[in-house]
Amino acid sequence: MPHGIVEKSVERYLYGLLPARDAVLGEMERLARRRHVPIIGPAVGRLLALLVEISGAKRIFEMGSAIGYSTIWLARAAGCDAEVYYTDGDLDNARRAQAYFRRAGVAHRVHVLVGDALELIDSVPGKFDLIFNDVDKHQYPAAFHKAVPRLRRGGLFVTDNTLWSGRLARKATDRYTRGIQRFNRLTYSSRGLFPIIVPLRDGVTICRKR
């Protein structure tokens, strides 16, 4: 889960402070390590939960959810009357996520959608309080253009991996790095957003819609 953005000793200290997760999240973390499944990890999970709690977000859309680790953090923080939309293009991921949602006690508030998140968001009407973006990195600029109009005023647009293990500071040689670089320029040049990049884990961008 760590990605080398901060000094390793500081990162170990940070993760050492975190309280133990419950059985479901702990199992998901072990599965992710064993099978190299990309998840946000507990430090960013706590950040997402805090953002939900302080913003009062109840209607949440996830763009790219893998096995549903981040979904559980979001859904638990949002409460029993929330609507959280999980999306992933892999049916096996979605089935595994559904089983975890039932065990975590959040299945009744999570809508599971399988397919391309950039298309699925068009199938859900209305505005969202928070959109969490973690799609394929070359899709980040397209995700920006899809997500921002769907946020309510004051809503949050949160994106993972926006420092990309430090590769953003060098000349891009691949479409993933170029996609994130363009995304970061879009967020900071938008008059309709107030963005900040938090150098936690692999970089998390938090934007508030004005």
Question: What pLDDT, in 10s, does the model give residues 111-164?
Answer: 999 999 999 999 999 999 999 999 999 999 999 999 999 999 999 999 999 999
56, amino acid identity? G
Coil, helix or strand at residue 156: strand
Q: 156 φ, ψ to 5°?
A: -110, 135
Q: What is the pLDDT of residues 174-210, one digit of tens each?
A: 999 999 999 999 999 999 999 999 999 999 999 999 9
Query: Which residue ranges make up each domain of the chain?
Result: 8-209
Candidates 3.40.50.720, 3.40.50.150, 3.30.1600.10, 3.90.1150.10; CATH matching 8-209: 3.40.50.150
pTM value is 0.96
